[in-house]
Copies of this chain bind each other. A is one copy, B any other.
């Protein structure tokens, strides 16, 4: 059981175990109802290890969210850069790709519900900006051809991003995915339409 492992390997394995266990419990019970003893037990380490690698429970939660946000961004990136698409096609494809990526169980709760409350709306928005929102704004800018009719680019990016998030939440809550996918598509088309 105790194969001689290098230090970085040991640490990485422990951190991954903690991230995996924490993610599962945060998704199942929510941040507040998940205790660090529960996380440590599920990860098969002690609380000492947790507090060695993460400043506190909140820091561990932030790390879980960063990993999750990166995964979402990668999945969207993958889909939009696969085939050669016009800016408008890329925007529409990216929008649906985002909904698909957010359909992975737990992501809406982590990123959209508990995230803002635990990290604060500010920090949570910054995390979103660093991954999803930036991509969306660039896609919008390209598709709009730099003439946002009636609104500024940052504003329309924020409002559209919010609509996407709500769609993801609705789908997770059991609404008909097709209904919200076509609604998102129609909304984007109305935005980019002249």
Chain A: residues with CB nearer than 8 A to chain B? 30-32, 108-109, 112-114, 116-118, 120-122, 125, 149-152, 154-156, 158-163, 165-167, 169-170, 173, 175, 179-180, 182-187, 189-191, 193
Looking at the assembled complex, report how far the CB atom of A186 sits from the nearest CB atom of chain B, in whole angstroms. Answer: 3
Q: Provide the bound-state CA to CA distance between A117 and B114, in Å.
A: 5
Whether B163 pairs with A159 at a CB distance below 8 angstroms is yes
Looking at the assembled complex, report how far the CB atom of A106 sits from the nearest CB atom of chain B, in whole angstroms. Answer: 12
Q: Provide the bound-state CA to CA distance between A185 and B156, in Å.
A: 11
Whether B109 pairs with A113 at a CB distance below 8 angstroms is no
Q: Provide the bound-state CA to CA distance between A125 and B113, in Å.
A: 12
Looking at the assembled complex, report how far the CB atom of A62 sits from the nearest CB atom of chain B, in whole angstroms. Answer: 15
Whether B150 pairs with A121 at a CB distance below 8 angstroms is no
Q: Which chain B residues lie closer than 8 Å to A154 at the CB level?
A: 175, 179
The 8 closest A-B pairs by CB, nearest first: A150-B186, A162-B166, A117-B117, A155-B183, A151-B183, A159-B163, A162-B162, A190-B190
Question: Among B121, B183, B193, which residue has its beta carbon within 8 angstroms of that of A113?
Answer: B121
Q: Which chain B residues lie closer than 8 Å to A167 at the CB level?
A: 155, 158-159
Q: How many copies does the complex hold?
A: 2
Whether B151 pairs with A186 at a CB distance below 8 angstroms is yes
Whether B179 pairs with A117 at a CB distance below 8 angstroms is no
Whether A179 pairs with B155 at a CB distance below 8 angstroms is yes
Whether A152 pairs with B183 at a CB distance below 8 angstroms is yes
Q: Which chain B residues lie closer than 8 Å to A117 at the CB level?
A: 30-32, 113-114, 116-118
Q: Which chain B residues lie closer than 8 Å to A187 at the CB level?
A: 151, 156, 159, 191
Can you offer 9 A-B residue contacts whose CB atoms are under 8 A? A32-B32, A32-B117, A32-B118, A116-B117, A125-B173, A151-B183, A155-B179, A159-B184, A187-B191
